[in-house]
């Protein structure tokens, strides 16, 4: 499906109904809006991983502008402010009020900016395997710990030396390190299913992403926030989650670490992921009912 948000249309999908029978009445579930990683990728990594949350929320995914199946636009609009404003516009277009917003990796960066720009809108924020800044030395060391010198060197060639020819090798060598399972079938479908736009990835990672530091903005976030990260994550190491927690001075924060997870916590520890998000949403709704 597609929805217009003004200058473009975004591709989106709804995984399950929002109204469900509950005895003699219909009960309305909260909306969980899931923002995919990348940038330059699409929602497909999310689909099977977040389906377990359909019992607790109506789960909606969409592709960021210039990503996946959503419309392209001028490169000047490939930036965090615009991607965050798109979250607001998407919810307005569909009449979504007080969503829970779950951002994974790059999607978590967008979610941080959205919640800082629109602090009264989200009912809760889930920051999954993400960061407020992308310090290359820390990630290079983490890649070497989990994948050796080749992984470190490919990370540096891609992120620091800005070598476009290294992109395919990065996907081959470094992407498998995003999960501790290293399952061949899992890795195969993650290479073939997504619509990948390498130019969007490079535009962000070599531009705004290379210099961003969202920590000062995080003090504007006031909604309850769940930080969920993996102990063995090479691209957004655990220290990145600690930095976000320290900067969220005005938000109630729950921080959970998957001790057997890398970047892809929903794949490595699916029960931990689903139970943590369910419990977080339930606590937020109980808190709202008591207010």
Closest listed residue to residue 187, CA positions, set 200, 177, 198, 197: 177
Both tokens of residue 279?
A: 């419990």
Structure confidence at residue 90 (pLDDT): 98
Indicate if the pLDDT at residue 152 is higher than 80.
Answer: yes
Q: What is the rounded average pLDDT of the residues 31-52? A: 91
Structure confidence at residue 49 (pLDDT): 86
Indicate if the pLDDT at residue 46 is higher than 90.
Answer: no
Structure confidence at residue 104 (pLDDT): 97
pLDDT, tens digit, 9 for 90 and up, residues 269-280: 999 999 999 999
Both tokens of residue 281?
A: 């949403």
Structure confidence at residue 194 (pLDDT): 85
Structure confidence at residue 184 (pLDDT): 67
Global pTM value:
0.96
> What is the residue extent of each domain of the chain?
2-134+196-290
**Alpha-carbon distance 39 to 113, whole Å?**
15
Q: What is the rounded average pLDDT of the residues 106-117? A: 98
Q: What is the rounded average pLDDT of the residues 124-134? A: 97
Structure confidence at residue 290 (pLDDT): 67
**Alpha-carbon distance 240 to 244, whole Å?**
7
Indicate if the pLDDT at residue 193 is higher than 90.
Answer: no
Q: How many CA atoms lie within 13 Å of 190's alpha carbon, on the beta-carbon side?
A: 22
**Of the listed ranges 99-113, 134-148, 186-200, the one predicted with least confidence:** 186-200
**Of the listed ranges 74-78, 109-113, 185-189, the one predicted with least confidence:** 185-189
Indicate if the pLDDT at residue 44 is higher than 90.
Answer: no
Closest listed residue to residue 10, CA positions, set 69, 81, 84: 69
> Which residue has 């490595």 as its token pair?
268
> Which residue has 């501790």 as its token pair?
180
Q: What is the rounded average pLDDT of the residues 99-113? A: 98
Instruction: Give the domain 2-134+196-290 fold.
Output: Rossmann fold (3.40.50)
Structure confidence at residue 79 (pLDDT): 98
Both tokens of residue 98?
A: 């007080």
State the pLDDT confidence band at 125, using cuts at 50, 70 and 90: very high
State the pLDDT confidence band at 163, using cuts at 50, 70 and 90: very high
Contact 12/1 with Cβ under 8 angstroms? yes
Indicate if the pLDDT at residue 291 is higher than 70.
Answer: no
State the pLDDT confidence band at 192, using cuts at 50, 70 and 90: confident
40 burial level (CB within 10 Å; 0-12, 13-18, 19+): buried
Contact 256/276 with Cβ under 8 angstroms? yes
Averaged confidence pLDDT in the chain: 94
Structure confidence at residue 288 (pLDDT): 76
Indicate if the pLDDT at residue 36 is higher than 90.
Answer: yes
State the pLDDT confidence band at 289, using cuts at 50, 70 and 90: confident
For 55, other C-beta atoms within 10 Å of its C-beta total 12
> Which residue has 């949350």 as its token pair?
53
**Alpha-carbon distance 197 to 40, whole Å?**
5
3-state SS, one letter per residue, for the chain: CEEECCCCEEEEEECCCCEEEECCEEEECCEEEEECCCCCCCHHHCHHHHHHHHHCCEEEEECCCCCCCCCCCCHHHCCHHHHHHHHHHHHHHHCCCCCEEEEECHHHHHHHHHHHHCCCCCCEEEEECCCCCCCHHHHHHHHHHHHHHHHHHHHHHHHCCCCHHHHHHHHHHCHHHHCCCCCHHHHHHHHHCCCCCHHHHHHHHCCHHHHCCCHHHHHHCCCCEEEEEECCCCCCCHHHHHHHHHHCCCCCEEEEEECCCCCCHHHHCHHHHHHHHHHHHHHHHHHHHHC
């Amino acid at each position: 499906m597609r929805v217009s948000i003004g200058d473009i249309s975004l591709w989106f999908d709804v995984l399950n109904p929002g109204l469900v029978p509950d005895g003699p009445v219909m009960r309305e579930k909260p909306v969980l809006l899931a923002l995919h990683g990348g940038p330059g990728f699409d929602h497909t990594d999310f689909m099977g991983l977040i389906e377990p949350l359909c019992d607790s929320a109506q789960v909606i995914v969409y592709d960021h502008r210039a990503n996946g199946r959503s419309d392209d636009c001028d490169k000047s609009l490939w930036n965090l402010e615009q991607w965050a404003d798109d979250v607001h516009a998407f919810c307005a277009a569909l009449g979504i009020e007080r969503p829970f917003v779950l951002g994974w990796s790059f999607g978590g960066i967008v979610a941080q900016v959205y919640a800082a720009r629109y602090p009264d809108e989200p009912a809760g924020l889930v920051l999954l395997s993400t960061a407020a800044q992308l310090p290359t030395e820390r990630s290079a060391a983490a890649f070497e710990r989990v994948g050796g010198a080749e992984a470190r060197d490919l990370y540096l060639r891609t992120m620091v030396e800005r070598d476009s020819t290294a992109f395919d090798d990065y996907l081959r060598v470094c992407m498998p390190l995003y999960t501790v399972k290293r399952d061949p079938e899992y890795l195969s479908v993650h290479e073939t299913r997504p619509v990948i736009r390498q130019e969007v990835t490079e535009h962000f990672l070599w531009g705004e992403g290379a210099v961003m530091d969202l920590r000062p903005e995080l003090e504007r976030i006031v909604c309850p926030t769940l930080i969920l990260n993996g102990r063995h994550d090479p691209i957004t190491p655990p220290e990145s989650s600690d930095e976000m927690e320290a900067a969220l001075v005005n938000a109630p924060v729950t921080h959970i670490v998957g001790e057997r997870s890398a970047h892809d916590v929903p794949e490595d520890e699916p029960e931990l992921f689903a139970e943590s998000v369910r419990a977080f949403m339930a606590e937020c709704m109980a808190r709202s009912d008591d207010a």
